Amino acid sequence: MCGIIGYKGTENAPEVIFNGLKRLEYRGYDSWGMATANGSGLDIVKQEGELEPSKTTEESNIGIGHNRWATHGKVSKTNAHPHVSCDNRFAVVHNGIIENWKELKEELNGHEYVSGTDSEVIVHFIEEKTGTETVEEAIRDFLNSAKGSFAVGLLDSKEKNLFAFKRGSPLALGVDGEGIFFGSDIYAFSGYTNESLFLEDNEYVVIENGGFVLKDVSGKRIQRKTRKFEWKEEEIDQKEFDHHMIKEIKSIPRTIQKLRTSLHSEQRESLKELKNLIQEHEKVIFTASGTSYHASLLGVFLLQKAGVEAQTLIASEFENYERADENTLVVAVSQSGETKDVLDAIEHSKGKGATIASIVNVPHSSIERKSTVSVRVKAGQEICVAATKTFANQVALFLELARETGIDLKTSELAEKISETIEKNEGKAKKLAKELKDKKDIYIIGRGPAYPVAREIALKLKEIAYIHAEGMMGGELKHGTLALIEEGTPVISLIPENSSEIESNVKEVEARGANSIRIASSGDFEVPECTPEEFTFLATVIGFLLTYYTAKEKGLPVDKPRNLAKSVTVR
């Protein structure tokens, strides 16, 4: 969470930083700020809420910027980054958490703290240490003293230099002929250059005199070549759609096709390698969070069908349950490739000798770089905080993986069927949204492969429409939840063809007066003739449409739901 960016070059830094912050907005949007250096020192701008182009600093060629997702200290202008040293020489932006900020603060003398953040201690630390040390020595000192995770950008307004250092949080460097950038990911500067390198933990970079030097914690120079990355950037303004979410839902048929093409061409080898690793290992454990976890539940369902003994664990609980060893393959599933809980699960498993593979969307992400084999879901940049097209592509990738292991799955007309489903059901979703918008609770039931979809629709209703929702196995209703079903309670049932078991669960809720909403071949929402695997996609897009229109009906900030961020880089 939180996005950082820095730039030194020939372009106007406030503009470069503002554009970068716009692209990094999905990482946090509680507040934002930037610092640039001019003739007389630092020029600082901080704002609560939305980015405003008219509020940037004066023209300059060097600066840093930040989008905040609050962890320590409430959302306020004072707590917005950058934080500044008492002597106004240094400004700092930070993504992560400094766990020992109190101890560090106690070791420093006579600094005035203005914010309630953990991050402010960094700038006072650098200020105090540079009383007797060089800036680089102070950074190395910090790397040796700080506990926690951090990607930090530091602006020295006296020498007009930039520094960046990291541990645990992502940090990328961008290079073009005219300037040097750093950012939380490649989006930060993808509008300017596609040449990049990634910093590893306990490394820092010095940006001065039109170039950069990469060093480790002992001050030793590191030689690392930049690489060109291929990444088609989505339009930040969604023009013909009201929100990114609906644009992204409607792109699902196209993104699935794109993934399939890649799995039969440039990703053919990595898909095979992943399949081989799965078949070679005694134990296969998937790990993921949120929506990606729901996709992995479907993945496990499909692989079990193919005779592979696999399981999936929620990443934040991984260490409490798993027994990984050198015979274990851990497959991380993540859109961003930066989720801290997933990265921790990977580190933990590596420590036990396990092999790591991954399924990610963002190219060159930390999770991808830590994996022996990684397959990309190829959904392109997703801007709405809620994952929609990336979920569909993760599931589509699992279908191909299961097919690769030998099971016969018929999904050749999937993209067409999804388009048809959207076309036939969008109007119905808009209509039903008017009714659902005032509901406090919604239940979604499914069985077999429809169960993870029920959970996924429930997650969407919570995060985007702010409605309490529970996605569950139809068969579990009678073990407790049925007590909550009363006259008018909405229950959405996912009913693939010929599924008598879920039909009896539907009867159970209807007998208690539920407002029964059926997604079926003939029901309130209608899907074309399809296999159970295809049904999971069709039910998913209907659930997404329903969520979108309910949130829209309520006038909610669909693409940027409160309290959330797209890339969750804290534990």
Give CA–CA dist 219/125, Å, rounded: 18
Q: Which is nearer to ligand AGP, 302 or 464 (CB)?
A: 464
Give CA–CA dist 108/127, Å, rounded: 10
Tell me: does residue 349 bind ligand AGP (CB under 6 A).
no
Minimum distance from CB of 331 to ligand AGP (Å)?
13
Tell me: does residue 169 bind ligand AGP (CB under 6 A).
no
From the candidates 2, 250, 258, 340, give the one annotated as an active-site residue. Answer: 2
Stretch that binds ligand AGP, among 113-121, 198-206, 334-342, 401-409 (CB under 6 A): 334-342
- Provide the token pair at 257: 């096709």
Tell me: does residue 334 bind ligand AGP (CB under 6 A).
yes
Contact 439, 461 (CB under 8 A): no
Tell me: does residue 184 bind ligand AGP (CB under 6 A).
no
Binding residue (CB under 6 A) for ligand AGP from 19, 184, 267, 339: 339
Tell me: does residue 306 bind ligand AGP (CB under 6 A).
no
Burial call 12-26: b when 16+ CB within 10 Å, e when fewer: bbbebbbbbbbbbbb
Q: Which is nearer to ligand AGP, 66 or 294 (CB)?
A: 294
Q: Is 475 helix (H, G, I), strand (E, B) or coil?
A: helix
Say which amino acid occupies 420.
E
Tell me: does residue 358 bind ligand AGP (CB under 6 A).
no
Tell me: does residue 298 bind ligand AGP (CB under 6 A).
no
Stretch that binds ligand AGP, among 143-151, 212-220, 333-341, 547-555 (CB under 6 A): 333-341
Tell me: does residue 245 bind ligand AGP (CB under 6 A).
no
Minimum distance from CB of 542 to ligand AGP (Å)?
17
DSSP notation for 549-569: HHHHHTT--TTS-TT--SS--
CA distances to 75, 455, 532 from 78, rounded to whole Å, are 8, 39, 53
Long-range contacts formed by 216-224: CB under 8 A, 24+ apart: 217/140, 217/143, 217/144, 218/140, 219/136, 219/137, 219/140, 224/197
Instruction: Give the neighbor-by-neighbor strand order of the sheet with 525-526.
Output: 468-473, 441-446, 490-494, 515-520, 525-526
Give CA–CA dist 310/299, Å, rounded: 9
Which positions ≥6 away from 98 have C-beta within 8 Å?
104, 118, 119, 121, 122, 146, 147, 148, 150
Bridge pairing between strands 283-288 and 328-334: parallel
Q: Which is nearer to ligand AGP, 138 or 384 (CB)?
A: 384
Q: Which is nearer to ligand AGP, 424 or 462 (CB)?
A: 462
DSSP 8-state class, residue 108: S
Minimum distance from CB of 463 to ligand AGP (Å)?
6
Minimum distance from CB of 316 to ligand AGP (Å)?
10
From the candidates 8, 460, 560, 566, give the one annotated as an active-site residue. Answer: 566
Q: Where are the alpha helices (DSSP H) in 31-134?
A: 101-107, 120-129
Minimum distance from CB of 271 to ligand AGP (Å)?
19
Give CA–CA dist 197/219, Å, rounded: 19
Contact 500, 474 (CB under 8 A): no
Tell me: does residue 253 bind ligand AGP (CB under 6 A).
no
Minimum distance from CB of 565 to ligand AGP (Å)?
8
Long-range contacts formed by 70-75: CB under 8 A, 24+ apart: 70/28, 70/30, 70/31, 71/1, 71/97, 71/118, 71/570, 72/97, 72/101, 72/116, 72/117, 72/118, 72/119, 73/115, 73/116, 73/117, 73/118, 74/116, 75/30, 75/31, 75/48
Minimum distance from CB of 352 to ligand AGP (Å)?
21
Site size toward ligand AGP, by CB under 6 A? 14
Binding residue (CB under 6 A) for ligand AGP from 385, 399, 491, 546: 385
Tell me: does residue 324 bind ligand AGP (CB under 6 A).
no
Q: Where are the alpha helices (DSSP H) in 202-289?
A: 244-250, 252-263, 268-280
Q: Which is nearer to ligand AGP, 442 or 506 (CB)?
A: 442
Q: Which is nearer to ligand AGP, 155 or 386 (CB)?
A: 386
Q: Which is nearer to ligand AGP, 319 or 524 (CB)?
A: 319
Contact 51, 21 (CB under 8 A): yes
Tell me: does residue 157 bind ligand AGP (CB under 6 A).
no
Q: Which is nearer to ligand AGP, 367 or 373 (CB)?
A: 367
Q: Which is nearer to ligand AGP, 90 or 537 (CB)?
A: 537
Contact 117, 73 (CB under 8 A): yes
Looking up tokens 């539940």 gives 297
Burial of residue 35 (number of CB atoms within 10 Å: 0-12, 13-18, 19+): buried
Confirm whether 566 is a catalytic residue.
Answer: yes
Contacts of ligand AGP in 264-293 (CB under 6 A): 289-292
- The 399-438 site mask, x for binding ligand AGP (CB under 6 A), equals ----------------------------------------
Tell me: does residue 19 bind ligand AGP (CB under 6 A).
no
Minimum distance from CB of 334 to ligand AGP (Å)?
3
Q: Is 447 helix (H, G, I), strand (E, B) or coil?
A: coil
Q: Which is nearer to ligand AGP, 164 or 458 (CB)?
A: 458
Binding residue (CB under 6 A) for ligand AGP from 342, 418, 436, 527: 342
DSSP notation for 131-170: TTS-HHHHHHHHHHH--EEEEEEEEETTTTEEEEEEEBS-
Q: Which residue is nearest to ligand AGP (CB)?
A: 290
- The 449-468 site mask, x for binding ligand AGP (CB under 6 A), equals --------------x-----
Give CA–CA dist 98/110, Å, rounded: 20
Give CA–CA dist 172/189, Å, rounded: 9
Tell me: does residue 386 bind ligand AGP (CB under 6 A).
yes
Minimum distance from CB of 31 to ligand AGP (Å)?
20
Binding residue (CB under 6 A) for ligand AGP from 130, 149, 336, 358: 336
Tell me: does residue 569 bind ligand AGP (CB under 6 A).
no
Query: Which residues lie near ligand AGP (CB under 6 A)?
Result: 289-292, 334-336, 339, 342, 385-387, 463, 568
Q: Catalytic positions, please? A: 2, 566
